[in-house]
Structure 1
Amino acid sequence: MKVKKLITASLGVVLVSSIFLLSACGETEVSKVDNGDKKTEAKADENTKKKENKVFKIGDTVKVNDVELTITKASYTDPAPYTKAEKGKVLTIELKAKNSGDTQAFVDNTDFNLYDKDGNKLKDYFGYDEMAVSGELNKGKQLTGKLYFDVPQANSYELVYTPAFSLDSKEIKWNIEVK
């Protein structure tokens, strides 16, 4: 009987500790970085709900926790010679990521999804020798890379980034206009 009470008490302590640790991790912080390095914070309270739902555009630098992401360019590129684009076009999105934090950060193409104007998810394109952006970023370092999607031609798309290592599954959105 004592063993059963001890196990029950231990499980209760572990459960309470786990909840405390998970809540201490906090929410994903998102802010837009202005050209003058001023930051507009977007935190999860009632006064900033509109900022959280903001849709960014090409050229905007968005700070997600300690990683600054900038979509620098979006253009249609020719498909690889032996890998057809099923929807007709390959959209190549150029990305710059910078780690402004004190610990390593990870950025990967699988954290990004592209949608058409009707909300349909578009497939990644895997025909090029060059791999899509992916990598660990040490403190103060940056990387550039590309995201590739098989798309029908359109004026704009929605790119959604959901950091893999966040607890709240916050989505950061860009309106991608192809010119």
Structure 2
Amino acid sequence: MKKVLFFSFTMMLIFMLAACGESEIKEADADTDTESAKDDSAEEKEKEKPKTQELAIGDAVEFDGMKITLNEARIEPGGDFDEPQEEQFVVVNLTAENNTEEEQTMSSIMNVELKDADGYAYTTTILTEGVKAQFDGSIEPGGTLRGEIPFDVPKSDSYELHFSNPFKSGKAIWKIPSDQLQ
């Protein structure tokens, strides 16, 4: 019995490590023709850069064949049963378009976090009022998922929305100045 458990655990670990890799991230509206004109030294410098994109509200990024757009970010007061434990609720509205040939899954808990200006990270919270739809679910090839993610955060001069794949390296980061929160 122990051999079977050990073998099962070993196989599971091998599959998990095989699934790990590096995410392909590029700005969605980037001009691909200029890339072919780069010389070898420019290509080497590009390879040395970390796989991180810094974006603004309204920008889209291609992330492993998925086009992810931060549509808006706003402060939400909550409802009768929603009291922030920090100082306020910040809600982000995202759209994911599946440009791959396989079904993809979005998870607000695993793919997204919000950081304040001091670098503290916050995960999604629950709001009973003020959120249109969740940013969780499966997206068929060619399909779209739009949803909102609420965060319970302290007031800050700015925020960063981080989108990543927990099984690969690389991430997209949207900068959100507080004065741009609707």
What is the TM-score with the length of structure 1 in the denominator? 0.74
* CA deviation string 1:128-154 (max 9, x = no partner): 265531010001010110010011222
Distance 1:99 1:123, change over 3 A: closer
Distance 1:106 1:87, change over 3 A: same
Contact 1:160–1:174 at 8 Å: present in 2 too?
yes
1:138 alignment counterpart: 140
1:22 alignment counterpart: 18
1:4 alignment counterpart: none
2:122 alignment counterpart: 122
1:3 alignment counterpart: none
Q: How does 1:3-152 map to 2 (within 5 A)?
A: 22=18, 26-34=21-29, 38-39=31-32, 46-50=45-49, 52-110=51-109, 111-128=111-128, 132-152=134-154
SS of the residue aligned with 1:54? strand
Matches of 1:174 and 1:63 in 2, distance apart?
13
* CA deviation string 1:75-94 (max 9, x = no partner): 10112211210112110100
Contact 1:160–1:173 at 8 Å: present in 2 too?
yes
SS of the residue aligned with 2:169? coil
2:174 alignment counterpart: 174
Contact 1:74–1:177 at 8 Å: present in 2 too?
no
Structure 1 segments unaligned to the other structure (5+ residues): 1-10
SS of the residue aligned with 1:118? coil
SS of the residue aligned with 1:139? coil
Which structure has more RCO (C-alpha within 8 Å, separation ≥ 6)?
2
Q: CA deviation at 1:46?
A: 4.7
SS of the residue aligned with 2:95? strand
Q: CA deviation at 1:169?
A: 3.0
**Larger radius of gyration, structure 1 or 2?**
1
Distance 1:108 1:45, change over 3 A: farther
* CA deviation string 1:9-52 (max 9, x = no partner): xx9xx99xx69x938x7521001011xx74588xx965244362
Percent identity, please.
Answer: 24
Alignment-mate amino acid for residue 133 of structure 1: F
What is the TM-score with the length of structure 2 in the denominator? 0.73
Residue 160 of structure 1 pairs with residue 162 of structure 2: yes
